[in-house]
Structure 1
Amino acid sequence: MNTSKFLKKNTGMLMLGLLLSFSMSCSKNDNPVTEKPAPVDTVKPPQPSGKIPFYKLQRVENLAVETDDKNPTQAKPAAYFSLDNKEEVPASYAKTARWDVAFTGLYNSFLSGNNGTDGTNQGYGGSGKGGIIVLKKPFEEVTDVPSESDFKTKGNVVGTDDLGAFGEGTGWYLYDFGGTIRGDGSPQKTHVAYALPEMRTIIIRTATGNYAKVKMISCYKDAFTADKWFKDTPHMFFTFEYVLVPKGSTKFEIK
């Protein structure tokens, strides 16, 4: 067979075959098979209602409220505090959901939540959904969020404990009128208010429906332990710790 004549005669066909082969190869490379991306978890964790993150221990020191030793039984203007934002709230916002706990009553030492539906509450008429309860357990042992029916919505709920003078049920502090319940009987140990963090924990449902576990530590300025509490120690400066968990939670956690 004459190879030269064959190539001359069939050059066009050979070139066409090569072009088709090259074209098909490019076509396959231009359209590679792509794998489907793995599914992405779009469920977002609960977002805080304010500036304070959930599950983180917070501490507030020396929150000052108005007091007058010369007229101790005369009611003073209430003080309001936002746990969601860790800040004091002006009284002009009492009928809003900006605050979570009110300090009222005797020496502004009684606590309540922010509830707009209870006529005795400082937030009555507002949009607050809050409540409060005190448990006979230390802070570290409280892990379960109470049921909704356990929360109290009225004002001036949690204050003096029955373990001391002028007790009004289970409270967050013991008032040692004569200085002999926890004091040594000396004049400087009379009229001392002893916080009870070792046996009492406050649970607050915030105005927006979150939950806070609160440890009341002291009501004396820069004095956080009982050995520093005396009759003349500057008082009604609240120090407390708390942790927030989102609404719908059943457990308190610190992460």
Structure 2
Amino acid sequence: MNFNTSHPSSILKVTGLSCMLLLTLVSCSKDDKPTEIPEEEVVTTVPYYTQTRVNNLAAESDDSNPTAAKPTLLYSLRTAKENPIADIKTSRWDVSFGGLYNSFLGGNNGSNSSNIAAGAKGQGGILIIEKTFDDVIDIPADNQFKTGSNLYGADAAGAFGEGAGWYLYDFEGTVLGDGSEQKKHVVYPLTTETTTKQGKKVAPRTLVVKLPNGDFAKIKIISVYKDALTSNLWFKTTPKMFYTFDYMLAPKGSTKFTK
């Protein structure tokens, strides 16, 4: 029986070439692995412990199809600027405006799978407190913040509300309005204690946000109507979803919104 055997030197050459090829492939595999680019750090330009006003921040709305989902509005309280939607999976934004008419707010938290920033590195959250903006001094403990998205919007004192919200929606115009056609479908932010036409008292609301970098903010939404800051100027036909709000930042580790 004749077995076909190769010369030992040939075997060594083939083995050597195979090893070199294997090493080359391993080396290329390592070199070709995409390099993760570190997220650019946001430099806070808004001063701490200073009340800051945002005027007419526009969110998309469409009265002809009000229940259709609109692009979420992202905003950086640290820089007082709107963020592009491309930033959604980053920690560059601080608060989101989503849901119906972009009227439901949430924080930026990458560890919550229900948050629009899921997978990002932010560890933020949001909470609503039944006090006026000026009366919110103490910063809540970290475990009190809710970490989902679209958490706080319409209050149960008005139409379509559930639990505590930052605004009262007067669908028929009879809860806070005079019942006229022009006072229907008006949004009333709850910045102070409010008494309805039926005599019910509704506590003021202030939003407190833990930012993705660990800083804190308190927010008072004043109006959702363009260039109209008081309720006597709010009507069914007034251009809406133009946010005017005040806020104040406090640095990471703070326990109060005072120095």
TM-score scaled by length of structure 1? 0.80
Letter in 1 for 2:46: I
Q: Is the Cα contact below 8 Å between 1:217 and 1:241 reproduced in 2?
A: yes
- Residue 131 of structure 1 corresponds to 125
Which stretches in structure 1 are left out of the alignment for 5+ residues?
Answer: 1-47
- How big is the shift at 1:200? 0.5
Name the larger-Rg structure. Answer: 1
Q: Is 1:208 equivalent to 2:202 in the alignment?
A: no
Q: Is the Cα contact below 8 Å between 1:49 and 1:208 reproduced in 2?
A: no
In 2, Cα distance between equivalents of 1:210 and 1:94: 19
In 2, Cα distance between equivalents of 1:225 and 1:209: 33
In 2, Cα distance between equivalents of 1:227 and 1:52: 32
In 1, Cα distance between equivalents of 2:114 and 2:62: 24
CA deviations on 1:17-67 (whole Å, 9 max, x unpaired) are xxxxxxxxxxxxxxxxxxxxxxxxxxxxxxx94111111110001000111
- Residue 25 of structure 1 corresponds to none
- Misfit runs of 4+, over 4 Å: none
- Residue 180 of structure 1 corresponds to 174
In 1, Cα distance between equivalents of 2:107 and 2:190: 20
Q: Is 1:91 equivalent to 2:91 in the alignment?
A: no
- How big is the shift at 1:212? 0.2
- Residue 21 of structure 1 corresponds to none
- Residue 239 of structure 2 corresponds to 234
Matches within 5 A, 1:183-198: 183-198=177-192
In 1, Cα distance between equivalents of 2:118 and 2:254: 26
**Residue 104 of structure 1 is aligned with which of 74, 98, 102?**
98
Percent sequence identity is 54
Letter in 2 for 1:77: P
Letter in 2 for 1:112: G
Count of residue correspondences = 207
CA deviations on 1:131-177 (whole Å, 9 max, x unpaired) are 00001111111100001111000111010001100002100000000
Letter in 2 for 1:213: K
Q: CA RMSD for the aligned pairs?
A: 1.0
**Residue 67 of structure 2 is aligned with which of 73, 95, 99?**
73
Letter in 2 for 1:244: L
